Amino acid sequence: MMHFLLLFSRQGKLRLQKWFTPIPEREKKKIVRDMTTMVLGRKPRSCNFLHWKDLKIVYKKYASLYFCCGLDAEENELLALEVLHRYVELLDKYFGNVCELDIIFNFEKAYFILDEFLLGGEVQETSKQVVSRSIEASDMLQEVSERPCSR
Amino acid sequence: MSPSVRLQEMIRVIRGARTQGEERGVIQRECAAIRAQFRQADNGTRSHNLAKLLYVHMLGYPAHFGQMECVRLIASPRYNEKRVGYLGAMMLLDEKQDASLLITNSIKNDLSHSSQYVQSLALCTLGCMGSAEMCRDLAPEIDRLLRASNSYIKKKAALCAVHIVRKVPELGELFTPASRSLLSEKNHGVLHGAVVLITELCERNPETLEQFRKAVPELVQIMKGLVMSGYSPEHNVAGISDPFLQVRILRLLRILGRNNETASDAVNDLLAQVATNTDSSKTAGSAVLYETVLTVMDIKSESGLRVLAVNILGRFLLNNDRNIRYISMTSLQKIVQTDHNAVQRHRGTIVDCLKDQDASVKRRALELSLALVSAVNIRSLMKELLLFLSSCPPELRAHTTSGIFNAAERYAPSQRWHIDTILHVLTTAGGDVRDETVPNLIQLITTATELHCYTVHKLYRALIADISVQSLVQVACWCIGEYGDLLLRGECEETEPVQVAEDDVLDALETVLQSHMSSPATRGFALTATMKLSTRITHNVDRIRSIVSIYGSCIDVELQQRAVEYNALFKKYDHMRYPALSTTALGPVSSTAGGDLLDLLGGLDVTPGETRSYHVTRPGKTLGPNYRLFMTFVSHSHPPQSVQLQMKAPSGDVIPAHGLGQVTQTVLLNNPNKVSLKMRVRVCYTSQDFVCQDTVQIDSFPSPAW
């Protein structure tokens, strides 16, 4: 399973953090610090896999954002790259040519999309269209419920 | 102004802050406003205030005062409020917070909500942060949803069940029946969830594993369908139909086929098919191939299939993509012991990877190369390893040198080659070798009697070229002291003749003594060597006497003591000088302060009868923070039939670093015919992540032993 997924910028600013195991707040901060240091310190053409404690770390840079996840030792690293890529595609479809600012100003949407794609650290839906359609429907429902006359 | 814009406005203001202090000020004001809003009655802005708080939380500021608000929002009938409430719960509440229990009831209600999107929120939250207690409470609900709901809910319920089983393994039994029937679903999301759930159940319960072996044919069918199907736009990734599902099925088949002939047989054909039909030009295909290879190697596959799998890994080694080269090597590392010959075929490519730019790839290539060394390839492979050593990254040098020494010790084709190799390593990376390299090398040189002349010439030349590498200088000094006469004689079969005068040699030793680069231990070697030369040279004994007497008043106490003793040898005990300083005879394994691998201590139990026991202790090494040792076996070399050997269990299997402890293993040798014995001891251990081996030969036991 995936233990955590982090998105951070080139300057190490955190843009999204999803934790799939219960970890105390202080330790979360330490993990984030460790990940940003390790990943930002990598040379440009290194491979995308690292070892950290007993986890495999898979990361990929998309424009100005680093997508970094921590996996159990028996996970397939190449597939993890595909998972990260799928999430980026979903964000891209939703925001239309997604950029870092979209994720900053609409962070809650980024989480909602993630929650339609992963659950409990595992992939829950393998079809891009199904995920996109679910998000659209949820957004519609949200819009309806926000109207003052609805109950 | 719509509340949502206010959230974005706040984000803009925070980002506009020019200093950390300014940011803190803005956030303090916002949090105060949010707190005030929370205390008020429902005014339709609660969800937006919580969203603001969540943003602030992500920046690293405390947000615990929002926990109760999450609980309230989750209980709201409005979807927009529930959505943010559940998001807040996943971010602010984990199972360690008391407030998390308060949402159990809301989750329970929402699991049966009429809207599937509300159900989805509840399932997602439970699957993300549900505590053991919540899981126990809600498991029956999840089971119900697994059986009777639409595919959107079923797939989420399946993963929720996975989380529950991870938290409360006994509940696995509850989900087993439902998960079996999920395998007949067509929906990929549900199938994927079902496979993940079944994998989790099988990993935790051997009986469940046994049950699900019957599902292997069904899984094979599903997999075949995916591999042979035509283009499916909904699930296609770079020409592969649903690689996520394919990989999970392969992993489940691996677990079911492990140690089971029948199950392994049933999947042989499928694995061959996937291995040959999958297009690996993109990552998705490579991911599937990778999982296939792992499965082939882990179950009881036919040998032809295993060779195919290793060849796929070999092909991966040549891939342009660094990631694929890396995972190829980690996989080869796992199988290099069991499928040694198959991996040997790819040795050339592996050795080429030593030159890769990426440090992780280099490291893997080094591990594999060391594992592939054999008597057949030792000469060519050692050339590559020595080449690697001259340019390898500093963090790998220590490991490389010890790997080279081990390989040389095991497979040296000749003593001269062995000595040359060690000297080469010392000249290239002498600062990164282990402490016992010096005594080991001295031992080796001593036993290579025909090569004394060659060795002393070579070491002398190395010494006059460079005196900075302490290990090399120490061995050189020792050698010159021992065999100085051979050096001065001038002729040597194996190297070009060169005239070395006594003064030259003494000059070299004095340079070492006086150099600030020389460590105290090195100076000790040099002084002793100088002293020994007094019995090997003819003209310059006075010079030696004066050198020795100078050091009689040296600040270094150790050196001073030595010098004083040598002085005494000159003055009062001159008749003993020659016998005391003559060439060392061959002896058994010596123990040194550096921590020789094996140390035969006294500990002889003299009991009636003919059994003697020896306590073999292994002093704790001083390298590295995580040093683990497994002393695996002791082997006789050519044991005579009358001798019996019994090994007791070691006293422990971990040696703490920094000499903080030791492990003792007792070996009982029964030698009724009092045959003279030699013993070779091999110790296998892991240090950090590397598997290492050391071998020592014991040529003679103390004579009262038998």
pLDDT tens digits, B584-617: 654 443 333 333 333 332 222 222 333 333 333 4
Residues of A in contact with B155 (CB under 8 A): 124-125
Among the ranges given (B40-49, B52-61, B79-88), the one the predictor scored with the smallest mean pLDDT: B40-49
Q: Find chain A residues with C-beta within 8 A of B59's C-beta.
A: 14
- For residue A138, the distance in angstroms to the closest alpha carbon of chain B comes to 6
Ranges B13-27, B39-53, B241-255: which has the least confidence: B39-53
* pLDDT reported for residue B151: 95
Pick from A51-65, B98-112, B295-309, B626-640: least confident: B626-640
Question: Is the CB of A119 less than 8 angstroms away from the CB of B156?
Answer: yes
Q: Cα B52 vs. chain centroid, distance in angstroms? A: 44
How much is the pLDDT for B676? 67
Residues B273-283: what's their mean pLDDT?
Answer: 92
Stretch B75-91: mean pLDDT, rounded? 94
- The pLDDT of residue B539 is 80
Q: How far is A67 from chain B (nearest CA, A)?
A: 16
Whole-number pLDDT of residue B546: 86
- What rounded mean pLDDT belongs to chain B? 83
Chain B partners within 8 Å of A115 (Cβ):
87, 124
- Pairs from B596-602 (Cβ < 8 Å, separation ≥ 24): B596/B436, B596/B439, B597/B436, B597/B683, B597/B694, B597/B696, B598/B681, B598/B683, B598/B696, B598/B698, B600/B698, B600/B701, B600/B702
Backbone angles phi, psi at B293, to 5 degrees: -60, -45
Return the residue of B nearest to A121 by Cα.
B128
Average pLDDT, rounded, for chain A? 94
A121 to chain B nearest CA, in Å?
Answer: 8
Lowest-confidence region among B160-164, B524-528, B674-678: B674-678
Return the residue of A nearest to B120 by Cα. A116
Which residues does chain B have within 8 Å of residue A131's beta carbon, measured at their own beta carbons? Answer: none
How many CB contacts within 8 angstroms connect chain A with chain B? 156
Is the pLDDT reported for residue B196 higher than 90? yes
Rounded to whole angstroms, the Cα distance separating B142 from B154 reads 9
In this prediction, residue B392 carries a pLDDT of 87
Asked whether the beta carbons of residue B77 and residue A47 sit closer than 8 angstroms, the reply is: no
C-alpha dist (Å) from residue A66 to A39, A40, B17:
8, 9, 24
| pLDDT for res B620 | 37
Show Cβ contacts of residue B334 under 8 Å, excluding neighbours closer than 6 positions. Answer: B297
Choose the closest CB to A123 out of B128, B244, B291.
B244
pLDDT at site B361: 85
Looking at the partner chain, which of A24, A49, A123 has a beta carbon nearest the beta carbon of B326?
A49
Q: Where are the alpha helices (DSSP H) in B168-205?
A: 172-182, 188-204
pLDDT at B557: 85
Task: Give Rg (Cα) of chain B.
Answer: 36
B632 pLDDT higher than 60: no
Alpha-carbon distance of B662 to B652, in angstroms, equals 8
Query: What mean pLDDT comes out for the span B347-376?
Result: 90
Structure confidence by residue, pLDDT tens digits, A72-104: 999 999 999 999 999 999 999 999 999 999 999
**Are A82 and B243 an interchain contact pair (Cβ–Cβ within 8 Å)?**
yes
Round to the nearest angstrom and report the end-to-end CA distance of chain A: 39
Give the chain A residue whose CA is nearest to the CA of B130.
A22
What is the number of other CB atoms lying within 10 angstroms of the CB of residue A138?
22
A49/B152 CB distance under 8 A:
no
pLDDT tens-digit profile of A102-133? 999 999 999 999 999 999 999 999 999 999 99
Quick one: what percent of chain B has pLDDT higher than 90? 48
Residue A70: φ, ψ to 5°: -110, 130
Closest approach of B242 to chain A, Cα-based (Å): 7
In this prediction, residue A43 has a pLDDT band, given cuts at 50, 70 and 90, of confident
State the nearest Cα–Cα gap between A52 and chain B, in angstroms. Answer: 12
Q: Which helix (H) or strand (E) holds B511?
A: helix B502-514
* Lookup: tokens for B159: 């993963």
Closest Cα in chain B, distance from residue A109 (Å): 10
Residue B373, pLDDT > 80, answer yes
**What is the Cα–Cα distance from B196 to B216, expressed in whole angstroms?**
15
- The pTM for the full model equals 0.76
* Predicted local distance difference test score (pLDDT) of residue B601: 25
Q: How many CA atoms lie within 13 A of B144 on its CB side?
A: 8
Among the ranges given (A76-85, B323-332, B570-579), the one the predictor scored with the smallest mean pLDDT: B570-579
Of A48, A81, A146, the CB nearest to B80: A146
What average pLDDT does this structure show over B541-567? 84
Higher pLDDT, residue B115 or B668: B115
Q: Which residues of A touch B193 (CB under 8 A)?
A: 122, 124
**How big is chain A, counted in residues?**
151
pLDDT of residue B665: 73
Q: How far is CA B1 from its chain centroid?
A: 58
Region B198-205: mean pLDDT is 96
- Residues near A99 by beta carbon (within 8 Å), at least 6 away in sequence: A63, A64
For residue B447, is pLDDT > 70? yes
Residue A84: what residue type?
L
Q: What percent of chain B has pLDDT over 70?
A: 83
Contact A81 B287 (CB under 8 A): yes
Mean pLDDT in residue range B334-341: 88
Neighbours of B165 (CB within 10 A): 25
- pLDDT-derived band of residue A3, with 50, 70 and 90 as boundaries? very high
Q: Which residue has the higher pLDDT, B245 or B441?
A: B245
- pLDDT number for residue B642: 64
- In this complex, which of B55, B159, B247 lies closest to A119 when CB atoms are compared? B159
> Higher-confidence residue: B573 or B175?
B175
Q: What is the least distance, in Å, from the CA of B508 to any CA of chain A?
A: 45
Which is more confidently placed, B612 or B490?
B490
Give residue-wise pLDDT tens across range B155-188. 999 999 999 999 999 999 999 999 999 999 999 9
Q: How confident is the model at residue B577 (pLDDT cuts 50, 70, 90)?
A: confident
Q: What number is the average pLDDT over the span B15-31? A: 92
β-partners of residue A51 are A56
Of the listed ranges B21-30, B264-273, B563-572, B658-667, the least confidently predicted one is B658-667
Cβ atoms B167, B132 nearer than 8 A:
yes
Residue B369: predicted pLDDT: 94
Contact B618, B597 (CB under 8 A): yes
**3-state secondary structure at position B687:** strand
What pLDDT score does B616 carry?
38
* ipTM of this predicted structure: 0.96
- Out of B79, B235, B291, the one facing A141 most closely (by C-beta) is B79
Q: Out of A22-31, B502-511, B593-602, which region has the weakest mean confidence (pLDDT)?
A: B593-602
Euclidean distance between CA atoms B432 and B273, whole angstroms: 49
pLDDT confidence band for B705 (50 / 70 / 90): low
Average pLDDT over residues A34-52: 91
Partner residue facing B189 (CB), from A1, A125, A142? A125
Q: Would the pLDDT of B242 be above 90?
A: yes
In this complex, do A49 and B323 lie within 8 Å of one another by their Cβ atoms?
Answer: yes
Residues of chain A positioned with their CB less than 8 A from the CB of B285: none
How many other C-beta atoms lie within 10 A of the C-beta of residue B102?
18
**CB pair distance less than 8 Å for A47 and B196:** no
Residue where the block lists tokens 């080094």: B366
Q: In angstroms, rounded to a whole number, what is the distance separating the alpha carbons of residues B572 and B583? A: 22
pLDDT of residue B700: 66
Binning pLDDT at 50, 70 and 90, where does residue A146 land?
confident
3-class DSSP state of A61: strand
Chain A hits for B192, CB-CB cut-off 8 Å, are 123-126
Q: Which residues of chain B have a CB within 8 Å of the CB of A122?
A: 159, 162, 193, 196
Q: Tell me, letter by letter, the H, E, C secondary structure of B280-305.
A: CCCHHHHHHHHHHHHHHHHCCCCHHH
Mean pLDDT (whole number) for B386-405:
91
